[in-house]
Structure 1
């Protein structure tokens, strides 16, 4: 159907679709001081609006509102149909506490009381 529409109408429809996706997007990419809304997200990557960012590589953080979800390493990005497709090499779930380097004993004390 879009093959029969004038170029200006197709561009307007694409812009309206992108604007709607940006408005509904809850996930955000933090790359240094820059923040971009994620249009689509899947297991091995995500899509950003190519009008906002042309190229993205390196270590980024993904947030859902104020909640830190992932720390990701982007190894490849390319533009397809107006979207910047970012491929992740790794995606690590963000934790609210540091990782343990040992097995914690379930009977270990929770804390120590100071002696008198």
Structure 2
């Protein structure tokens, strides 16, 4: 059995694969006030469409819809089959609250009420 696929068929398969990835992903990348759709993400990186993806390097923000997921330090890795691949140098999850540098007691007061002295 031959594993040879004509160029036209391979181009059609790549196009169909990229369009299905584009429809399925809600991830997007924000850098310098511009946003770019992310096709897929894995543990050490992510990919975007090669024809619309700039050659990025540096700090970017990664979103899932409107939810800010990560602040990333990235570097462009390579281009393959219509996808531009990027690797994470640093990936920091974004928290909703600031980090605590102490243990909070369960019975700690929520707020402090001041007394008015007359």
Bigger-Rg structure (1/2): 2
RMSD: 2.0
TM-score, normalising length: structure 1: 0.83
Distance in 1 between the 2:79 and 2:18 partners? 14
State the SS of the aligned residue for 1:13: helix
Residues 69-84 of structure 1 mapped to structure 2, 5 A cutoff: 69-84=69-84
Aligned length: 115
* Structure 1: 5+ residue stretches without partners: none
Q: Which residue of 2 aligns with 1:108?
A: 108
Moved more, 102-111 or 59-68: 102-111
Distance (whole Å) between structure 2 residues aligned to residue 66 and residue 75 of structure 1? 24
User: Match for residue 23 of structure 1?
Assistant: 23
- Deviation at 1:2? 7.0
Report the Cα distance in structure 1 between the residues aligned to 2:37 and 2:3, rounded to whole angstroms.
26
CA drift of 1:35 comes to 1.5
Scaled by the length of structure 2, what TM-score is found? 0.82
- 5+ residue gaps, structure 2, are none
Q: Which whole-Å CA distance do the structure 2 matches of 1:41 and 1:106 have between them?
A: 38
**Kept in 2: contact 1:56–1:77 (CA 8 A):** no
- The verdict on how the C-alpha distance between 1:102 and 1:75 changes in structure 2, with shifts beyond 3 A counting, is farther
